[in-house]
Amino acid sequence: MSVTRKHFIRLILVILTFISVNISAKAQADKIEGLWYNDIKSAKIQITKESNGKFYGKVVWLKEPLKNGKPKVDELNADEKLRTRPRLGLQVLTDFVKDGDNKYTDGKIYDPNNGKTYSCNITYKGKALAIRGYIGISLFGRTTTWTRVE
């Protein structure tokens, strides 16, 4: 076997290994992980599963990132110390636990538009997430739909 042919075979094996590792890594990702538009498409939220096994989401894009020529901040937060933190990069989903095939429960959602945090459940519906924020029990809440960024 010639040296060139050996190098070619090695290259093919390296490429196939790389592809199979990528495919298996994607197969291990949970269905809600990824990039989602909020209900009015004014923000994109990146949902990830952290090492503690829980799911979190942070704002990674804003349609209008500036207010009066400066980056938008969390100005309505109840905690005055947090009012200067930027909205871009803001964690809005915390501590969700997978509960069955399509449900994620026991989490919290922060709404920077009013500065309030709510209990929250998420239901995966294909290319959409039903986000149910509530106070006390889920009966007293509101559901919005987020769509996957293509």
pLDDT digits (tens, 9 = 90+) for 91-130: 999 999 999 999 999 999 999 999 999 999 999 999 999 9
Same domain for 122 and 81?
A: yes
Same domain for 90 and 47?
A: yes
Same domain for 71 and 21?
A: no
Same domain for 52 and 101?
A: yes
Rounded to whole angstroms, the Cα distance separating 129 from 121 reads: 10
Residue among 70, 125, 78, 135 at smallest CA distance from 103: 125
Same domain for 86 and 103?
A: yes
Q: Residue holding tokens 């298996």?
A: 24
> How many domains in the chain?
2
Predicted local distance difference test score (pLDDT) of residue 107: 97
Predicted local distance difference test score (pLDDT) of residue 135: 94
| Parent domain of 7 | 1-28
Same domain for 113 and 78?
A: yes
Give Cα 15 to chain centroid, integer Å: 30
Same domain for 109 and 52?
A: yes
- Average pLDDT (13-23) is 51
CB 52 within 8 A of CB 104: no
Same domain for 5 and 39?
A: no
Same domain for 47 and 88?
A: yes
Q: Does residue 23 surpass a pLDDT of 50?
A: no
CATH of the domain at 98: 2.40.128.520
